[in-house]
Structure 1
Amino acid sequence: MLMTKEVIVKWTNRVKRHYEEKGYLFSAIGKEFVCKVEHLSQGSNAGVIVKCSVCGDDCEVKFSRYNQIVQNQRTYRCHRCSARRVGKMKKTPILIVEEAFKSMGYILLDKGYKGNSQKIKYMCPQHGEQVGTYAGIKKGHGCIRCASSLRANRQRAPFSEVQKLFDVRGLILISKEYFNEDTLMIFICPKHPEKEQVTNCAKLRAGWGGCRLCSNEGRRGENSYRWKGGISKLQEIARHTMIYSWKLESLAKANYRCDVTGMNGKLDIHHLYPFSDIFEQALKNTGIPIYDKVNQYTEAELEVFSKELSKIHFEKGLGVCLLPKIHKEFHNIYGKIDNNPEQYFEIKPYLMKKYKVR
């Protein structure tokens, strides 16, 4: 129903003749005048108020649009009511919708179907309750998780290829299930059959991820990049037992407190000169041979070496007591090779400021 009675329009060359025939007195192009709504031209863009014949709401539309709707529908419906009418006309019967879901192996759970684009619940036999639309089902778009599984199956390498990866590395594959490159697979190394190990295909393709025990053996002893002729075991014993008196005197001199913070507790003894350099100097001075194992040395050789190592330590001066975290930070900055006293005294003010020492 048209609610507007009069509207304001402008004189234009296009409508001048129309309104003069309706009895309106022309004034000037572009000038406004009041016109009754029934005298408007069919294509007028003047805004009018119309009542929806369905919901009864007042709507503002162009007069030309109102005429077009009335001619097609014989009555005016607002935008919302028109959409509902179109939706009802296009709505697929619920039985057809159920059959579409059933054809893909799904069970329709939501019976309140309103339109093709409405999200409705359905049951997937493999992955449980899902949400989708009838429009999507018609296009073949079903359960997302099923689609992911299908895509994964197409991209998954055949088990024979997986078996070949282990065979090439000389490993015995135990697992029989393979899902993707990251699947952990159980295997046994022929050299270490007493222990089952795990890896995945991604690691094997990258050239690693084989037997860890074999890898560790390949980095020990003479195979290690740090191999120095078999002195590591002797060096460990020397560090922990042969310089004990030097450590005690270093702690006593510092009153068992950190040189940076003044705090007591667990302390490291920092060498102002690298321990490795002192150790090699002691080996050179004593001239004792280098053996693979410490038990190959005689007690006399160890005693001579111990005295020489301790003597050089005291000649270089006592160590500096530091909290473990400060000791670690020093070596993170300067490394563990070619250290000297100048480095420590250079960094000490910075460490004192960082740890708020007054």
Structure 2
Amino acid sequence: MGGRPKPTWEEVVKLFEKRDYILLETEYVNSKVKMQYICRKHEEEGIQSIGYSNIKKGIGCKYCGREVTAEKQKLDFHVVKEAFEKDGYTLLENNYIKNNVPMSYSCPHHPEKSLKITYADRKNGKGCPYCANVVKYTIEEVKEIFGQSGYILLEKEYKNNRTHMQYICPHHPDKKLEMTLKSYVVKGSRCPYCSGVGRASFEQVKSAFNNSKFVLLEDEYKSLNSKMKCYCINHPEIIQFKTYHSIRKGHGCTYCKGLAKHRYEDVKAKFEDKNYTLISKEYKHNQSKLKYRCNIHSDKVRTISYHSLLAGHGCSDCAFDNSRMDFANVKSLFESKNYTLVSTAKDYKNCYSVLLYICKKHPEEIREITYDRVRDNHGCFECYMERNRGENHPKWNHDKTMEERIVDRSYPEYHRWRTDVFIRDSRTCRCCGSTKNIVAHHKDGYGWCRERRTDIENGVTLCSECHTDFHNIYGNLNNTEQQYNEWITRKRALN
């Protein structure tokens, strides 16, 4: 068999040495089997493996490849320097390595700080952490910040600005206080007792409940958001749980406001008011599905949520019966359109039932239509065409002269002639019997025989293919009925 000869072991070793690799194998199998090696430039990265065919293609140490790619993509130092200087920063480096290597710089507002940032972060809009107030403070700096308000910080370690730290207020040294650095710096929070929002006493809590018309059943107060047992003086039989926080916000009895969970008895009574029988034995909430039976249409069990029931929804059959138009009104609508309704009340079931009618203006045909379409102003096609033909058509161009319309064949008499020819021939080509791409052909040409331009006996339905065939033989000018008769006789003889 032909092909490339298998390289010798010496050739393989020589190629690895040429790439500055240390080959760890003792034999060569084939070009696809991977062989272990160490790159002398990146010995610290350990052992790598590669096939002889790949190393011949120029593939090798992945770390060397990354350095080559980084060098190709490396930005000019002046571009990096401009990115720092546009916001007033001074870059303290003399060369640029790559975008994820931190570089030293100085901020004009904090020149005493030693700052570092990568070009990738700088390009994404990041800058001096002290200007952005996102720097991590030391415990000494945090103590100094708290000390500006006279507070004594009790912590020995600072973790982050969301960690609660204990402190002492000089005006309330007996109170246990906690606050995050974020609350102090960003929100401007201070000692709650100095601000008048400190922990309330049990007497204050009890008084607040009494002012909201509640009788408190607890003996102690724990916290602002702890639920406390109570009852409303207007609904003493119902035990409720309220927080001091909600009472302070003005929240009151949900039963007085009609916002409480409905009782099963009230839900059942509401179903009975709608002439329904509630089958479900338990009520969870106003979105849970409840089984019921309509007393009028009791043949099936239905489901509905209490929320939907209150919104006016219910038995679909009852809704259909209520929305069904009375037959007398249907008949009245047909008469207002100048139609005589042939169908009887038995034929009318809903607005989609097909009804028979006669147009008084065109009584030669019994037509079909639904009440829904009559209501949407559909009806007799001939009446529609009369209302929208000629000058009544929305696209009628009033600037065109009659002579121009005759040349363009865009006048009502021509359109009517064309339609009548199609109807007479059942929209079928008189030559081949096709019903696709039909045209109305003038036997005596439209250009020279003016008196027969709209004569239906001068027209015949042809498909576009047969029509083109005729004019390819006899041309497009001065065509005659004799030419058509010769052509159609010949075509039928061939078929």
Normalising by structure 1, what TM-score?
A: 0.41
Which one has a larger percent strand, Structure 1 or Structure 2? Answer: 2
Normalising by structure 2, what TM-score?
A: 0.31
Which one has a larger percent helix, Structure 1 or Structure 2? Answer: 1
